[in-house]
Chain A
Amino acid sequence: MNERTADESHLLTVNGLTVEYWTRRGKIRAVENASLTLDKQETLGVVGESGSGKSTLGMSLIRLVPYPGRIVSGDINLEGQNIRKMKDEEMRDIRGRRISYVFQDPMTSLNPVEKIKDHFVELIQTHEPKVSKAQALERANQLFRDVGIQQERINDYPHQLSGGMRQRVMIALALALNPSVIIADEPTTALDVVVQAKILDLLNTLRDRYGMALILITHDLSIVLQRSDKIIVMYAGRIVEYASSVDLYSSTQHPYSQGLLKSIPNIELLDQKLEAIEGSPPDLLNPPKGCRFWPRCSFAMPECRIEEPPLFETKKNHLVRCYLYKDETNDQ
């Protein structure tokens, strides 16, 4: 059937993933040479500003990169299976069943003319045709309990629910078939602060209970610092830092990550000056030569402008794409 690669130990492995958008004005490399691993019951945070490629990275994991984008190179392996080589029908089966995706805006993600319960029945019966409608509803009710919505709401239409509730419905739909991985793309951006925390906690709770892995995509570093095990920082399509959340907080290495960290307000620091990172992200049609970040980097050195730095491994499992650390690598 499918090839089994060497990396069977990890739940999800991505190697050298490159995704381009082929537009009329030229090719845009939304993601370049991204690699990551994910294990069971791990939470991976993917942080970056708009246009950093984080959403594209997420979408490519389920092969739903929108036109005119396409995955140009790289490997994606889920539980040993090569996702890129799968046939369309196999991929369709995996979506929702082994990897689920939770979108940013729950209002526009649900079918406005369908009742919530129909969303569930349809989802379950598509993947498991032998399940009866009653059984499907049974499962839906159970999921509602898990995510904390009242049972009666299952008969409503999407527009009759509040934002927080809709997002819980999305999460319930994502859980319905017990996937191995859930990818949540900005799950709380469309919600208010109080609900945000609840949803994020919910995701982690469910992760433990169901034994899945979670990928949290967000622009907000503060969200993932507390709640994820590993963090990837993306800038202009590149992974610029890859570390455990503890390491990222205590020994932030890449100048961009440092900038992000400094821009998080900390309620305990009375005199804190919030610093924004000067400048704006590069135009991906004509990116600057060398390191993508050098125009905004206060540590920029001559070699930064010539060629892009590779990822240096400074500690075990702490990778950074910056010439500042080129001498600190563990292995060459």
Chain B
Amino acid sequence: MILILLTMVFLLIRVLPGDPVMLHFEKNANPVAVEQMRHQLGLDKPLWQQYFDYLLGIFRGDLGLSMQDYSSVGQQIFSAFPATLELAIYSMIIAASLGIFLGVQASKAYNRPQDHVIRIFGIVTYAIPVFFLGMVLQLTLGIGLHWLPVGQRFNPTIGIPQSPWYVDLNTPFSTALIPSLFKITSVHLSTGLYTFDSLLEGNIFKFVESLRYLCLPSLTLGLVLSGVFIRLTRSNMFETLRLDFVTAARARGLRETRVTYGYALRNAFLPVLTMVGLQFAALLGGAVLTETTFSWPGLGRYIVDRINFRDYTAIQGAVIVFGLFVSIVSLAVDLLYAYLDPRIRL
């Protein structure tokens, strides 16, 4: 299935009306420059050979060269990716927690005002365009309260978090092997996730800072996505709360919070996990808009920038990565589900 995905992206760029190079140059196309680019990017080879190179390249992690400056698309994506990953993780956490919490509250107040309010909330948040919500939050919480930053990923006055471990590449052996394109002497083994890295570095201030910057973007994305979780949790919990063992637990005098979360929720949890996997695609879509709104240096903003430059190889590369990302996450969720399903384990 991944293969089909990749093939479709390949065809997308080449087969759709407009040869990518022509599209890049638009009308003022100097034929020499066009040919030069075409040759540099390998777009003058026969289609089937391009396809082969394309697949091979992906396998090796080579996503081609950017139309703008012929730099490695793979490298650019690699540096932009962790930002999106971090945003995605925190947004999903917010969406799921908020959704589950509200869903539980709604299911317990079934058909009473609280239930209706929460359901309407879920519907309305879905109808709000992500970037609009982002701007509203920027206006109110960011500028209005002077409290949270409205753009960028980190405080520019201090260094970005990096893990304290690094690999020293400045040995004769390694400098001979690795072409000194980057003149690196050591590579910090950072994950690129600022929150995580700052903890690795042991720097609490950086940790707080990275969270501060993450706040608004992930809140925006999380709010919009929470609606689905609210609905799912609500209906699941409604059924589970009516099961015998829940009533029996109450009859034993166990505390309501314990009954709700320990008994009922545990059993309603699995579908939520599947939903996380399913919602991931939507999350990434929303991430593109959120990153643009908050100037978050992730893959989403990358793709938007590249569109402005008409850099089709880069767009192709980014789209591939998005697709792969979603596939990997779905796979992981499937595996996790199989592991956690009590019918298989217990």
Contacts and interface: CB of A to CB of B under 8 A. Distances in A.
A and B interact physically: yes
B245 interface: yes
A294 interface: no
A262 interface: no
A211 to B, nearest CB: 20
Interface residues of B, number: 21
Contacts of A287: none
Interface stretch (A73-81, A95-103, A202-210, A244-252): A95-103
Interface of A: 62, 64, 66-67, 92-97, 100-101, 103, 105, 108-113, 122-123, 126-127, 157, 159, 170, 173
Contacts of B258: 122, 126
A291 B242 CA distance: 34
Contact of A126 (B248, B254, B346): B254
B251 A66 contact: no
Interface string B216-254: 000000000000000000000000001111011111111
* Max chain A Cβ within 10 angstroms of own Cβ: one of B249, B255, B258: B249
A106 B243 CA distance: 12
Contacts of B250: 64, 92, 95
B256 interface: yes
Nearest to B244: A108
Given A123-B252, A123-B254, A103 B346 contact: no
B159 interface: no
A112 B251 contact: no
A112 B245 contact: yes
A103 B253 contact: no
B263 interface: yes
Contacts of A122: 254, 258
Given A113-B346, A157-B346, A173 B243 contact: no
Contacts of B251: 62, 64, 95-96, 100-101, 103
A110 B245 contact: yes
A170 B243 CA distance: 16
5 contacts: A103-B244, A103-B248, A109-B245, A122-B258, A123-B253
Contacts of A173: 252
Top 6 nearest A-B pairs (CB, nearest first) are A96-B253, A95-B253, A108-B244, A109-B248, A96-B252, A101-B251
B48 to A, nearest CB: 55
Nearest to A111: B245
A103 B247 CA distance: 9
A103 B256 CA distance: 19
B143 to A, nearest CB: 44
B146 interface: no
Contact of B253 (A105, A112, A113, A127): A127
Q: Is the interface of B mostly helix, strand, loop or mixed?
A: helix
B248 A110 contact: yes
Contact of A109 (B110, B244, B256, B346): B244
Nearest to A159: B346
Contacts of B254: 92, 96, 122-123, 126
Contacts of B342: 112-113
A113 B243 contact: no
A97 B266 CA distance: 26
Contact of B244 (A94, A105, A113): A105
Interface string B293-326: 0000000000000000000000000000000000
Contacts of A170: 248
A105 B247 CA distance: 12
Contacts of A157: 346
B247 A92 contact: no
Nearest to A173: B252
A111 B342 CA distance: 13
Contacts of A105: 244
* Max chain A Cβ within 10 angstroms of own Cβ: one of B251, B258, B266: B251
A113 B252 contact: no
Contacts of A103: 244, 247-248, 251
Given A96-B253, A109-B245, 4 more contacts: A95-B252, A101-B252, A113-B342, A123-B252
B116 to A, nearest CB: 16
A241 B243 CA distance: 33
Nearest to A94: B253
B234 to A, nearest CB: 15
B151 to A, nearest CB: 46
Nearest to A176: B252
A127 B253 CA distance: 8
A126 B255 contact: yes
Contacts of A100: 251-252
A23 B304 CA distance: 54
Given A105-B244, A157-B346, A111 B253 contact: no
A21 to B, nearest CB: 14
Nearest to A119: B252
A89 B140 CA distance: 40
A66 B244 CA distance: 11
A96 B256 CA distance: 14
A92 B244 contact: no
B244 A111 contact: no
A92 B253 contact: yes
Contacts of B110: 67
Interface in B267-315: 267
